[in-house]
Amino acid sequence: MTIAHHLGFPRIGANRQLKWALERYWQGQITQAELYEQGMQIRTENYTQQIKAGLDFLSVGDFSWYDHVLDMSFLLGVIPERFQSPSPDIDTYFRMARGRAPQGEDTFASEMTKWFDTNYHYIVPELSEQQLFTMTHHKLFDEIKEAKSFNKKIKPCIIGPVTYLYLSKVKNPNFNKLSLLKKLQETYLEILTKCREEGIEWVQIEEPILVLELDPAWQKAIKETYDFLQVKDLKLLLTTYFGSLGQNIKLASTLPTAGLHIDAIRGQDQLSEIINLIPQNKILSVGIVDGRNIWRTDLRKALAILKPLHAKIGERLWIGSSCSLLHSPVDLNNETVLEADIKNWLAFAVQKLHEIATLAKAFNEEEASIATELTASDAIVVAKSESTRIHHPLVKKRLKDITSDMTQRKNPYSLRKIIQNSALNLPIFPTTTIGSFPQTQAIRSLRKDLKSGKIDEENYEYEIKKQIAYAIQQQLELDLDVLVHGEAERNDMVEYFGEQLAGFAFTQNGWVQSYGSRCVKPPIIYGDVFREKPMTVKWITYAQTLTTKLVKGMLTGPMTILCWSFVRDDQPREVTAKQIALALRDEVIDLAKNGIKVIQIDEPAFREGLPLKKIYWQDYLQEAVLAFRLTSSGIPDHVQIHTHMCYSEFNDIIEAIANLDADVITIETSRSQMELLKAFETFHYPNDIGPGVYDIHSPCIPTVDEIVALIEKATQFIPITQLWINPDCGLKTREWRETRLALQNMVNAAKMLREKQGVIATEKVR
Ligand code: GLN
Ligand code: ZN
């Protein structure tokens, strides 16, 4: 028998039931019993789908109330002191995740961070130097019992001990976490033993860190751990995903586990090596159905990859998803307005289960048994490759015609700065904001009303313009130097552009969990991207007519659009990046032609796109820089390009950031007290920079003195003539009242500093 399995199913429910139930529970609108009931319904639905598709195992333990890493912490009894209670329960769990729950005192939540290179966020385990581990919570075992009633084989999935430790945090940076491994192994052994007592045969134990470049100490930890974790009659499927095993290939293949799962989507190149390395009696599970993207599997191609493997190891070959399906939307059948041909090209989690089962069937029966599925798959491959919706010769030609001068401003920054100083006429310490102003209920209602047909386009435009005028008026009163239109017309910084660019499709229900009850609905880039008409010019130029001060145009950059979308798998990412860049370039040029002299291209996801393995960083950074420069270089030198990135770790990519050659970069720094700027002691950043002077995520109003102190700190690292004054990020989540107060203090701080410098604000010194 060739086994068909998957690594985990989305837990949000086909209609985001989990989200709604959680939020109601947190607000005290439903009881704990009602919440549990909802969870059970979701799991039942998920198991039913797995049975219907004909998979060999039900995955158990993939359901989570918030996050599966937090579940692991709970199972291991890792509950930091501030959350302790005599009997930790689901409210303790929620307080760890979000600082508050219906029961118990509010306290600050555990840190949350991105799960490898996905957009899923996990709760970082907090360990103490004396950390003890005790098998505590029984959720996993309750779910095992529950799943048994479905009369199918069960495969629990848990995060492995070494990955768990690797991703955890101990306060003291000099403490060696690995010293906790022994104790951790003991508790894992208990958990596994209990699984065996429950009659479990296979456990999926996940060690995704094996796709990273591990140092010898961590490699050794893996080896020791799996030598130790031996439970009689229990088989471990050591599970890796998100990349190839690289230098860990031998280690992973030869560990004493009964099986190994590898990601054959991201790590197809390792298959031939692994098939030779894998010991005689070991199972090799090949993740051939992409858990992270939404394209239908080319079944014939997948079969062609699997056949030689099967010829070599026969039934020791298992067929699975590349990673957990958690990263896919739930069910394509929920899409009722997606155009038929595009819909045909897609597979969400439910459809992926069927693909896995179909591929296994080809080996369990014979290839002819899946003839219908193969023919359908072939037809789609052909239709897709020929589709005029996807392929646009003009876009391809334009890409070919890119020349090096298209990625180069006319003059170097030192010269541009002189030109811009006289064109823009700004004081020292110029003040600006990052783009968005409060997205009020009124603004959101406008969009809803437009969608439902309650108001027409013309009406909508009129109302949005009123919002823009309001934002401009406010900024004039605040006396900011470079104004923005406020982004009232944007629902989301990627969706807004995707909706106007050719090559993008949008689902109604393609939600993917980001964290807890938060889901995102990434656009789908299915075809060649180009701009059909200007996207922002109307709004920005309108804003500019309202004032003689400068209004900054606002665009989302190519890498951010790419990172926050489902991307094509029929061409390299960098090709798609360039297409987006060219489309945005058109917009930049149009803005400039229409008299806009300052244009910001946001790249908050620039760092997020970094590959998991450092060896690929340079390639990525090169592509990312190229895409940005392609977007930003088609304009005369007097036009000033800004970019914005919202994170504070960029020491390791600072050269690439300098290479963007943006005239001004605004970044997050206030929470780290300008710590980030230390990088500038050794690296001379040549262009202008606006280190955020207050944290927009906090409702607190920064005082003038606090802001002055931060800016003065910044002047220790950056020459005054290079400094801009701005908040950390956009203001869309704030209210107008607090926005006004904070910005007033920011402007006053800038004015104070100018006076201190003995220069009058209006004098041209820059
Ligand atoms: N211009 C965007 C805004 O102000 C930037 C958002 C972001 O950095 N994530 O909202
Ligand atoms: Zn930001």
CATH topology of domain 393-406+413-765: TIM Barrel (3.20.20)
Supply the CATH classification number for the domain 3-64+136-386: 3.20.20.210
- Relative to beta strand 550-556, strand 482-484 is parallel
Eight-class DSSP state of 329: -
* Residues whose CB is less than 8 angstroms from the CB of residue 766 and which lie 6 or more positions away in sequence, other chains included: 421, 426, 427, 428, 430, 721
pLDDT at site 192 = 98
Other Cβ atoms within 10 Å of 92 Cβ, number: 19
Q: Does residue 123 have its Cβ closer than 6 Å to ligand 1?
A: no
Query: Token match 């495969």: residue?
Result: 155
Cα(730) to centroid(ligand 1), Å: 5
Mean pLDDT rounded to a whole number for the chain: 95
* 671-704 tens-digit pLDDT: 778 877 888 888 888 999 999 999 888 888 999 9
Q: Which of 517, 700, 514 is nearest to 98 (CA)?
A: 517
Question: If you average pLDDT over residues 206-219, what whole number do you get?
Answer: 98
- Helix 736-756 to helix 457-478 angle, to the nearest 10 degrees? 40
Residue 253 in this model has a pLDDT that exceeds 50:
yes
Residues with catalytic roles: 697
Task: Give yes or no on whether 3-64+136-386 and 393-406+413-765 have one common fold.
Answer: yes
Structure tokens at 57: 């195992």
pLDDT at site 585 = 98
Name the helix (H) or strand (E) containing 471: helix 457-478
Helices (H), 266-392: 271-277, 299-313, 340-344, 349-364, 371-386
* 30-50 tens-digit pLDDT: 999 999 999 999 999 999 999
Q: Which of 525, 615, 68 is nearest to 327 (CA)?
A: 68
Cα(487) to centroid(ligand 2), Å: 14
pLDDT at site 552 = 98
Residue 510 in this model has a pLDDT that exceeds 90:
yes
Closest atom of ligand 1 to 646 CA is: 8
Eight-class DSSP state of 173: T
Q: Whose CA is nearest to atom 4 of ligand 1?
A: 730
Q: Does residue 667 have its Cβ closer than 6 Å to ligand 1?
A: no
CA distances 603 to 242, 285, 556, 642, Å, are: 23, 37, 7, 10
Ligand nearest to the CA of 728: 2
Q: Does residue 730 have its Cβ closer than 6 Å to ligand 1?
A: yes
Other Cβ atoms within 10 Å of 296 Cβ, number: 22
pLDDT at site 761 = 43
Instruction: Answer whether 157's CB lies under 8 Å from 105's CB.
Output: no
User: Which residues are within 5 Å of ligand 2 (an ion), measured at CB?
Assistant: 604, 646, 729
Q: Does residue 707 have its Cβ closer than 6 Å to ligand 1?
A: no
Other Cβ atoms within 10 Å of 764 Cβ, number: 12
Read off the amino acid at residue 133. F
* 588-618 tens-digit pLDDT: 999 999 999 999 999 999 998 999 999 999 9
Cα(533) to centroid(ligand 2), Å: 27
How open is the CA angle 665-613-6, to the nearest 5 degrees?
115
The 3-class SS string of 582-646 reads HHHHHHHHHHHHCCCCEEEEECCCCCCCCCCCHHHHHHHHHHHHHHHHHHHCCCCCCCEEEEEEC
Question: If you average pLDDT over residues 313-341, what whole number do you get?
Answer: 97
Instruction: Answer whether 317's CB lies under 8 Å from 286's CB.
Output: yes
How open is the CA angle 606-609-614, to the nearest 5 degrees?
115
Residue 645 in this model has a pLDDT that exceeds 60:
yes
pLDDT at site 675 = 79
How open is the CA angle 85-87-91, to the nearest 5 degrees?
70
Question: If you average pLDDT over residues 421-447, what whole number do you get?
Answer: 97
* 339-352 tens-digit pLDDT: 999 999 999 999 99
Instruction: Answer whether 484's CB lies under 8 Å from 554's CB.
Output: yes
pLDDT at site 648 = 66
The 3-class SS string of 61-123 reads CCCCCCCHHHHHHHHCCCCCHHHCCCCCCHHHHHHHHHCCCCCCCCCCCCCEEECCCCCCEEE
Q: Which of 119, 432, 434, 608 to mutate to test the pocket of ligand 1 (most atoms within 8 A of CB)?
A: 434
Torsion region of 666: left, alpha or beta (phi above 0 gives left; psi -120 to 50 gives alpha) = beta
pLDDT at site 700 = 86
Ligand nearest to the CA of 436: 1
pLDDT at site 677 = 84
The domain ranges of the chain are: 3-64+136-386, 393-406+413-765
pLDDT at site 626 = 98
d(CA 193, CA 146): 19
Residue 649 in this model has a pLDDT that exceeds 90:
no
Helices (H), 5-31: 17-26
The 3-class SS string of 671-738 reads HHCCHHHHHHHHCCCCCEEEECCCCCCCCCCCCHHHHHHHHHHHHCCCCHHHECECCCCCCCCCCHHH
pLDDT at site 461 = 97
| Backbone CA torsion sign across 143, 145, 151, 152 | positive
Ligand nearest to the CA of 647: 2
Residue 274 in 3-state DSSP? helix
Please, which contacts does 572-579 make with residues 24 or more away whose CB atoms are closer than 8 Å? Answer: 573/623, 574/623, 574/626, 574/627, 575/399, 576/525, 576/529, 577/623, 577/624, 577/627, 578/399, 578/402, 578/626, 578/627, 578/630, 579/395, 579/399, 579/503, 579/528, 579/529, 579/530
- Relative to beta strand 154-159, strand 283-289 is unpaired
Closest atom of ligand 1 to 434 CA is: 4
pLDDT at site 436 = 97
* Residues whose CB is less than 8 angstroms from the CB of residue 568 and which lie 6 or more positions away in sequence, other chains included: 525, 526, 527, 576
